[in-house]
Amino acid sequence: MLLMTMAPTGDKRKREDDTENGDSGDAKSSAGTQHPLSGFRLQTVLRESARDKTIFLHGQVTGDGQDAEDAVVILERAPFHVDTISPLLANSPELKLQLKNDIYSVYQLTPPPELNEVKTTIIRPATDKHIKKYLRQEIYLVQETGEDYKNITLPFIESQSFSIQWVYNILEKKAEADRIVYENPDPEHGFILIPDFKWNQKQVEDLYLIAICNPRGIKSLRDLTADHLPLLKNILHEGQEAILKRYSIPGNQLRIYLHYQPSYYHLHVHFTALGHDAPGITVERAHLLCDVIQNLEMDSRYYAGRTLTYALRADEALLKQFKEAGKC
């Protein structure tokens, strides 16, 4: 996955070397030296949100005589920066009146290129799974018992080819080593804290970091037992301390949680600013780390047997498995 920050005016800036796979440099694809969207042809608008100023596109990329590759492109308006607001409002000549009524007036303001950036995420080559992930779908709640997990969900996970090599690249310092905010190198109880690719790191109000645990084989919340309490407590306390030191945000202004189902099956913990309306913080997906720790202190196998409720999109294969088993 590549991340770029682009100005719609066409200036040829270098992309942020803030990629999920750790690739860096200017706007080049991992396969060669061409622009990552060379010859892009739009196929479908997968989803769009006027509220979030985001659009999800499916298209094909061609260039240098290569076969066309499917790509998912996510365009997101960059947030405002407080230090640019006053000069923008006071000095902008591009302020055109659209409506005035008594004390109320509406203007169209055209900011300069450097303040008119569009964060651009590119997934290439994109598989059918990637395309379906971003396609607007009806969603359904699933209530997964411990037995359902063993009989339906776990066999499904094990039958799929979910690649998490990019996670191992981070843990092994093969990628994104320069982005590490904090590290506890202990192989059993340690972790790496790194900015999530959704955060542009330009304002702490949208802070979003991920703690990736060092031990492998812990797929999700379901695998956690009391044996993992030292790891979870290290992530909670050391993560808070690292964020306070680096970003001056105290622990009581952080939302620290795990997803179930997770987006990838290697245990990781999300750290977001409490005031940030981050994706995936809804009650049917987010589990606060402090609650997880307390539950495991009361019952070592709490998450192995508890019924967990989560949402699945209509086209997800796991939902089909539950339907075929008569569970939803």
Residues annotated as part of the active site:
268
C-alpha atoms less than 13 angstroms from C-alpha of 54 in its C-beta half-sphere: 16
Contact present, 206 and 276 (Cβ < 8 Å): yes
CA gap 156, 162 in Å, rounded: 11
How far is C-alpha 20 from the chain's CA centre?
9
CA gap 131, 150 in Å, rounded: 28
- Residue 75's contacts (CB-CB under 8 Å, 6 or more residues apart) are 54, 55, 57, 118, 119, 120
C-alpha atoms less than 13 angstroms from C-alpha of 38 in its C-beta half-sphere: 16
Q: How many CB atoms lie within 10 A of CB 245?
A: 11
In degrees and rounded to multiples of 5, residue 27 shows phi and psi of: -70, 80
Residue type, 198: K
Token pair of 57, please?
Answer: 């596109």
**What residues does 56 pair with on adjacent strands?**
47, 74
Residue type, 33: T
